[in-house]
A and B are shown apart, each in its own frame.
Chain A
Amino acid sequence: MKFYPYKRLNRPIALRVTSASLKLPDGTRDHLDTSAFSVPQRTVALGVAQHDAWVSARIGLSATLPPGAMADDAPWSGLRVLVMLTDGETNVRRVVDLRQDAPGSKEWSGTVELLRDEHVGRASLSAQAVATVDDVPGRSIAETDEDWTVDVTADEPLGGLRLDVKQVGFARSSRAWLQAYADVPWIVDTSGRVPAVWVNTDVEGFSDLLDAENGGIENKVHELLVSQMSTDVWTAVFHSALGDLEVEPDGSPVFPTDWRGEVLREMLPDVAPGAHVEEALRRVHRRRTGDAGWVELQTRIHYAAVRRAGAGKALSQALRALQQLNRGDKA
């Protein structure tokens, strides 16, 4: 709970994406259909139209202010609604004014432009209502409580952790560093921009199994393997997110802005249950960097990873399929 030394609105602004279009290199504009954005996921996927190259995107927005913003006796003047497009990876901050739909209306709308060359993965959109309060200009009187995410490459508007899965034969890969791992079926690499799973296609039949979508036992084994890989991924991303934390001068850790931050917010409630995520991060960071408690935490990290990977469900389905198969053999 934050306290403010002035009056403000106590409910959040509701922000919605209403349209998205891409400007292509030849100067034409492609209007993306509504499958490009998802209200429940609060995500826009600019990769839906499968354009290899585009120059910029224009995102249409509408915002609804909470009740009281337009009240005649409101203690502020000069109300404006600003939308911020920010990207922690490229340090972009673009701010635009929305326009009030009609005098006295609490509906505001406008567009924000996003340049393709200024983003790598995901940018965030948020809105703030600002006004002059007690002679102080630029006071924030309400904001959105959850950001929208604009993903410049995704072809589906899904939130959550994005994972890069690449299938190559390790032994003869042109990526010589993979050759050192030729005797294992997969490895996880968390050093990149998004975590990646490298699948070793030298293991015969492995990629067929991973691509299996024909039902039957292959499917169940496939699910089981995927959940096993996911467990590895979740464990690895958690460790690498925690191992790479920035620390404030007073020693408290800062939430990373990229996928590492998403991973921590997602997993910490299971790793340090009962604590608010900020406090959970401090505790876990203390355990890792301090003298005691890191070893004991491993079980909880593993637990959090297994839960996210859906290992329980995959296992029980594989077991049931095996039972059915055995029954069929006997009959």
Chain B
Amino acid sequence: MIEKPYRLPARLGLLSAAAAEPFLTEDLLKGVEGHAGVDLDKVVEPSDDDDPRWEVEPLRDLIEDAMHAFRDNRTQADAWLAPRLHAALRLTRREAADRRLWNHLALAVAPDYVAWRHYSRTTSRIGPERFRGALDRQCFSRLWWAAEMFRDGGDYAPVVAACGNQDLIHSALRRELIDHRPTAQALVRVLERGIATTGREIEGLMTAINTVAVTVVYDAFAPDLPRDPDALGTWIAEAGNATSVPRHTLPYGPDEDPAPPESVEALTRYFIDLFETAPIRGRESQR
């Protein structure tokens, strides 16, 4: 199995997919053997300033704790790690959209985590997209973005609920509908109330929500608030002074306003109604 890299970089940098390609060896993807960190170092673009956010050690510690705590159930690590990774690695969306950052984290800092979490026993392989791939597929970017899309202001509790259901994050992250914050929060509530829970039910509900969105604009009756850039800016600026992310309680995210509760509640009722009346493929019984 892949082990902790012998030589860890001190700081996160940028690793382009083209530069990363030679390191995605068959042995790595089969989970047999990692690469020599020395050569990888040469092709990484170093981060440009002495921003404390790019320090690798706190991230590495966090990832090791996740592997330890969930050694018997690796899929549950997602719900634990997503909010903590988000709080430990404080990024703007512009920064988080840069796949090169995630490539470096996966290949140079924690290839052992990627292997541990995503090794498929059926194919005896790790999908290469887990190291360098679309933001909703790559091992770490999918967690960070799940936390970003499902957090309610500074509250990470909805992230835990969403990530606890693999089907929800898998189908939600590749859809635009959760770009509307009240919709994302309402989906979590539908899930928490036990109304749609299985993969097929969730997939069916999201398809129905998308279909209705052709003729109904949810923003019209469930508006969101504009985001306050200062709250996020302050949170990011404090990264250097922040204590390490709590392991037993949830961290706090940026001090942004939550999605308007009346919008979330209106949509929750709307989706429940939709789920119960619309012909949804995969629903257990026609109630």
**CB within 8 Å of B: which residues of A?**
2, 4-6, 55-56, 80, 82, 84, 86, 88-95, 113, 115-120, 128, 130, 136-140, 175-177, 180, 189, 191-193, 244, 246, 249, 254, 257
A84→B145 CA distance, assembly (Å): 21
Contact A91 B218 (CB under 8 A): no
Name the distance in Å between B212's Cβ and chain A's nearest Cβ: 10
Instruction: Give Cα A201–Cα B270 distance, bound, in whole angstroms.
Output: 60
29 contacts between A and B (CB under 8 A): A56-B229, A82-B217, A86-B179, A91-B93, A91-B145, A91-B149, A93-B176, A94-B227, A95-B219, A95-B223, A117-B94, A117-B95, A117-B229, A119-B93, A120-B98, A138-B217, A138-B220, A139-B215, A139-B217, A176-B19, A176-B43, A177-B22, A189-B18, A191-B18, A191-B21, A193-B98, A244-B134, A249-B203, A257-B176
Query: How many chain B residues touch the partner (CB < 8 A)?
Result: 44
Is the Cβ of A138 less than 8 Å from the Cβ of B98? no
Residue of B nearest to A117 (CB): B92
Distance in Å from the Cβ of A265 to the closest Cβ of chain B?
17
* B224 in complex: contacting residue of A95, A118, A249, A254, CB < 8 Å: A95
Chain B residue numbers with a CB within 8 Å of A89 are 97
A113 and B226 contacting across the interface, CB-CB below 8 Å = yes
Complex Cα distance A244/B232, Å?
32
Q: A116-B94, A117-B94, A175-B45 are in contact. Are A140 and B215 (CB under 8 A)?
A: yes
- Point out the residues of chain A lying under 8 angstroms from B217, CB to CB: 82, 128, 130, 138-140
Q: For residue B95, which residues in chain A have a CB less than 8 angstroms away from its CB?
A: 117
B161 at the interface (CB under 8 A from A): no
Interface string of B222-234 (1 = CB under 8 A from A): 0110110100110
Among B93, B174, B218, chain A packs the most CB atoms within 10 A around the CB of B93
- Asked if B214 is an interface residue, CB under 8 A from chain A, the answer is yes
Q: Nearest chain-A residue to B184 (Cβ)?
A: A91
Instruction: Tell me if A90 and B94 are in contact (CB < 8 A).
Output: yes
Which residues of the other chain, A, contact B219 by a CB distance below 8 angstroms?
Answer: 82, 84, 95, 138
Chain A residues with Cβ below 8 Å from B226 are: 94, 113
CA A137 to CA B219, docked complex, whole Å: 11
Closest to A189 in B: B18
Residues of B within 8 A of A115 (CB): 227, 229
Most chain A Cβ neighbours within 10 Å, of B16, B98, B178, B215 = B215
Specify the chain B residue showing the minimal Cβ separation from A248.
B207
Closest to A5 in B: B215
Which residue of chain A lies nearest to B39 when distances are taken between CB atoms in the complex? A176
CB nearest neighbor in B for A97:
B223
- Residue interface mask B187-206, A partner, CB < 8 A = 1: 00000000000000001000
Chain A residues with CB under 8 A of B174: 246, 254
Chain B hits for A246, CB < 8 A:
134, 174
User: Is B42's beta carbon under 8 Å from chain A?
Assistant: yes
Contacts of B220 in A (CB 8 A): 80, 82, 130, 137-138
Q: Which residues of chain B are near A82, meaning CB under 8 Å?
A: 217, 219-220
Q: Is the CB of B216 within 8 A of A138?
A: yes
Contact assessment for B179 and A138 in the assembled complex, using a CB-CB cutoff below 8 Å = no
